[in-house]
Chains A and B, each alone.
Chain A
Amino acid sequence: MAINFSAFDIGLSALQANQLGLNVTGQNIANVNTPGYAQQSVVLSPTAPQAVGGQLVGGGVTVDQVQSSRDQFIQNRLQTENGNTGRLTAQSNSLAPIDAAFSDTGNGISTGLTNFFGAFSSLQANPTDNSLRTAAIASGVQLGASLSFTRSQLTSAVSAANQAIGGNVQKANSLATQIASLNSSILQAQGGSGNASDLITQRDQAVNSLTELTGVSSTQNSDGTISLTLGDGSPLVLGDKAFSLQATPTGPSGLYSLTLNGKPAAISNGEILGQQDAIGQISSQISQLDSIASSLATAVNTIHQSGTDLNGNPGGAFFTSSDGNPISAANLTVSAAIQANPSLLAVAAAGAGTGDGSVAASIANLETDTNQTAGSQTGSFPSIYSSLVSTAGSALQTANDGLTTQQAIMTQTTNQAQSESGVDLDQEAVNMLSYQRAYEAAAQFITAANQITEAVIQMGQ
C-alpha cells in the first residue's frame, strides 16, 4: 500500500484553521473595549474530497473568510446620529459664551440703561447741578462701555466658532484622505486572501468621525469600498480618491467660506454646521445689539439737539462714534466735548432758560416710551433689549435641550450597535467551553475505541 499523505494535509489545514481562529478570538478579546469594533468570526468549510484508493477522503478544512458582525442599517443610523450629535454639541458649545455675555451682573447693559435714564430723570429736577450733569454723562459713558463689552464678547464667540470651523475642515480633509486610503487597502485585501475586517473597522471609525464633523452620507459600493457625499450629493470620497474642503476667510470679519471643488460646500449636519448655525445666531444678536445702540443714540441725540446748554447754545450730539464709523454697540460713547465740559449738556428746552429740565425729562421718558424701534423690534429700549436677551437665552436653551435628547438617542443607538456587533466576553467563554467539551468528549471516545480495537487485534495475532 502506498504512503498516503492526505492525513498530514488534513492535520496541517486543521492546525492552520485553528491558529487563525485563535488569532481572531484574541483579536475579539483585545478589542472588547474598542469603540466601533465589530466582533469577528472565522468561517470554515471542508475542502473538496479526493479519491484515494477508490474511496473519497476529505481533504481537511479551509478558511472561507473572517467575517465581522455588522448591521449596515444600524451603522448608517449610527452615522446619522453622530452627525446630529456633532451639530448639537458644537452649537451648544459655541452658543455657551452668550450666556455670560448677556448676564447682567451690575455692569451689564440692562443696568446701564436703568442708570442712564435714571440719571437724566434726576437731572430734570435740578438741571444746573454740575454733579448731576457729570453723573448723567458718566452713565452714558458706562452704557456705551457695557454695549461695547457685550458686543466684544459676542464677537469673540463668533471668532472662536470660526476658528473651530477652520480646524474641523483640516480634520475632515485628513479623515477623507484616510478613508480613501483605507478603501484602497480594503479593495486589495478583499482581492487577495487578506483580512479586511480590521481595515473595515478602522474605516467605520474614520467615517463616524467624519460624519460627526460634516454629516456626510455614506454609500456602500459593490467592490467593498464606500463613497461619501455632502448634502447636495457632491463627493468627498470616491473609492480611493478624496476631495478637499477649502476654507477661505471672507469679509472684514474673516468668516470662513467653505467650498468643495470650487462650489459652495453643502454641509448638512455635524459640528461644522452646528458652528455655522451658532455663528449665524450670534451674528444676528450682534446686529440687533448694534441696532439698539444706533437707535438709542439717534433718539437721545434728536432730543438733546433740540435743547440748549447752560451757556444758552443749541445742544450738539450727545452720543457719538468713538472710531468715526457709524454708531454701533462697538463704538457708542458720549461726545468728547460734553465729557470735557458738562455745561454743554443740553437739558433745557430752547428759550426756556437754564433752570428748565424738560429735555432731560424727555430723554428720561425714553425708558418707558414704547414707540421706539431698533431693527425689526418695536417697544421701549429696555424691553427691546430684554427681548434680545430672551431670544438669545432661548436659542441656548433650545440647543442644550436638543443636545440632551440627542445624547439619549446616541446612547441607545450605540448600545444597539454594540449588542449587534460588540464582543461579548461571556459568550466567547461559553463558546470556547462548549467547543472544548465537545472535542474532549470526541477525543475520549476515539481513544477508548482504539484501546478496545488494539485489544481485539492483539487477540487475533
Chain B
Amino acid sequence: MPDKVIHQAAELMRDQAVAYQKLVLLTEQLTSALVCGDLHQIESLTRAGQSELLRLRSRLAQTTAILSQFAASRQSAPDRASISQEARTEFESASDEVLRQARLFQRSRGRAAALAMNGVAYAGACIEMCGVKPTTYGAPYVRPGGGKWL
C-alpha cells in the first residue's frame, strides 16, 4: 500500500518535471518576445504559460494531498509498513528531477521578469506622457475573432 502511494507521488513529480521543462522553454521564448515587443507573441506565450501553471498548481496540490494522506496513514497505522527500496529510489529520483528543473526555471525566469517589469514601467511613463490615466489592466485576452487588443 505505501509503495502504491509513493509511486503515485513519483508519477506526479515526473509530470511536474516535464511541466517545468515546458515552462523553461516558454520563458525563453517569452524573453525573446519581450525583447522584440511582439505583443501577439507575448500574449500567446503568456496564455500558454498560464495554462501550464494551472496544471502545475493542480499537480502540486495533488502531490501535497497524497503525501499528507501517506503521512497520516503512516502515523495511524500500528504496523508502519516499510517502503520498498525501489519505490524509495523512484520517489527520490523524481523529486530530484523536479527540483533540478525548478531551479533551471528560476534561472531562466529572471531575465523575462526583468524585461516584463521594465516594459510595464516604460509603458506607464509613456501613458502618463500621453495624458492617459494609468489604471489596472486585466490579463490580455484576444478579442473574439482575433485582431488587436482594445
Contact = CB atoms under 8 A, between A and B. Distances in A.
Contacts of A45: 36
B140 A46 contact: no
Interface string B104-124: 011001111111111111111
Nearest to B31: A58
A2 interface: no
Interface in A410-455: 425, 428-430, 432-450, 452-453, 455
Interface string A12-28: 00110010011001100
Contact of A455 (B34, B60, B95): B60
B50 interface: yes
Interface in B58-104: 60, 64, 95, 98-99, 102-103
A428 B126 CA distance: 9
A169 to B, nearest CB: 43
A446 B102 contact: no
Given A10-B111, A44-B37, A435-B39, A445 B31 contact: no
Contacts of A455: 60
Contacts of B125: 22
Contacts, number: 174
B35 A46 contact: yes
A440 B109 CA distance: 15
B56 interface: yes
B102 A430 contact: no
B6 interface: no
Contact of A429 (B23, B127, B138): B127
Q: How big is chain B's contact interface, by range?
A: 35 or more
A11 interface: yes
A434 B149 contact: yes
Given A438-B140, A438-B149, 17 more contacts: A10-B111, A10-B114, A14-B118, A22-B125, A29-B129, A425-B130, A433-B137, A434-B39, A441-B42, A442-B46, A446-B109, A446-B112, A449-B49, A450-B113, A452-B56, A453-B105, A456-B16
Contacts of B138: 437
B3 interface: no
B30 interface: yes
Interface residues of A, number: 47
Nearest to B99: A460
A7 B111 contact: yes
Contact of A449 (B35, B109, B114): B109
Contact of A29 (B20, B30, B130): B130
A457 B103 contact: yes
B1 interface: no
B60 A452 contact: yes
Of residues B37, B42, B64, which shows the largest number of chain A Cβ atoms within 10 Å of its Cβ?
Answer: B37
Given A435-B123, A436-B120, A442 B36 contact: no
Nearest to A435: B123
